[in-house]
Amino acid sequence: MQAYRGCMDLLSALEDIEKRTSSTIGVTDTSPFPQEEHRLVDRVSGGLHGGLAFTYARPEIAARPARSFPWASSIVAAAVPYLRDGDGEADGRTVARFADGDRYGDLRAVLEEIDAALRVGGNRTEIVWDDRRLIDRAVAVRAGIAWPGKSTMVLTPGTGPWILLGSVVTDAVLPVSAPMRRTCGTCDECIPACPTDAIVSAGVLDARRCISAVLQRRGTIDMKLREAIGGRIYGCDECLTACPPGRSSLRARSAGTAVFSPEQVLMASDEDLEPFVEHWYVPSRRMRFVRRNALVALGNTGDESSLELLAGYLGGEDALLACHAAWAIGRIGGAPASAICAAALESETDESIIHELRCAIDASDRGGVYADVLSAPQPFDLEETPR
């Protein structure tokens, strides 16, 4: 390692970046995270990962930085606030705040500044964020820039959970930061705030029920979860908005008026839709999964004026979308909805859609209320399957 005009000068440069960008920056080493590795393995064995890959795919890699970065000595971690005007407290959001536009621009800028400061001294560096080789939240906690919340998010003073995390791995030998002594104490407001009870206990999330995870997966959305999704198309902020440490930051922002509606999604072409979802995780970049989410959202927020749009998807070639369109029609309910489903049932041969149609007719007759139902089968996970 070459010195950056001495270690103190480098630390001073990091402090300057921290102040100018309203970020929180700390340092840890590349030693393993054995508790995090055990936690990931435990979640996978119990099915709580909900099929998600990312750091769950190779816990023995994600929890051991030296495996991926054998040349490194230190990890400089950064927590960057991402709220902006328009993010204030308001109902009716269809997209979680972190995914509404490119919120990662400020994070990239901060990490690039840290990277540049390290490179001035001739140090080797690598910028890492949302990377399966490193557990961002564990690094942030050990680097002293955040404390672990009961929602499994990590929190910073003043900003709470409204942060994006990233790191710069380097061969510079830097003094490590002391971990925060703060905890959530007796506060557990995030737990009952979850619409699907996905936070099963403090610090334990069942990703099979987490709306953010559900809306990113392939296949059929479980019938038992669809109503709780509400009008959401991507992401969920409920555990964040319930978090007291972040409320002042949220309230300091004006409320937005623009809404990315399910109707917009369902009426747009793939080419027109792709720029709006550029920063989302969409399986295989197939817009059908965004449309699937929008069909559920429209079922929860639409009325009889939405039935014509939904009927078009019910009669389309994609069986996955037809299934969710049937559910949405049943959710709106009433005699017109029941008639649409009954007419479709007369000629339908696909068992998955037949199941959805029968449930939808029953729900329509109940005024859009679904009784206890079995989950529909989950075919058509990978490709659009014409009927």
Contact 215, 196 (CB under 8 A): no
Contact 96, 161 (CB under 8 A): no
Report the alpha-carbon distance of residue 115 to residue 107 in Å, rounded.
Answer: 12
Contact 277, 111 (CB under 8 A): no
Locate all alpha helices (DSSP H) within 246-379, ordered by sequence. Answer: 247-251, 262-267, 270-273, 287-301, 307-314, 319-332, 335-347, 351-365
Nearest to 114 by CA among 1, 4, 279, 2: 4
Residue 130 falls in the annotated catalytic set: yes
Strands 199-201 and 154-155 turn out to be: unpaired
Report the alpha-carbon distance of residue 216 to residue 224 in Å, rounded.
Answer: 17
Vertex 18 angle, CA 15 and 20, to 5°: 110
Contact 187, 242 (CB under 8 A): no
Q: Which of 130, 272, 303, 381 is catalytic?
A: 130
Positions marked active-site: 130
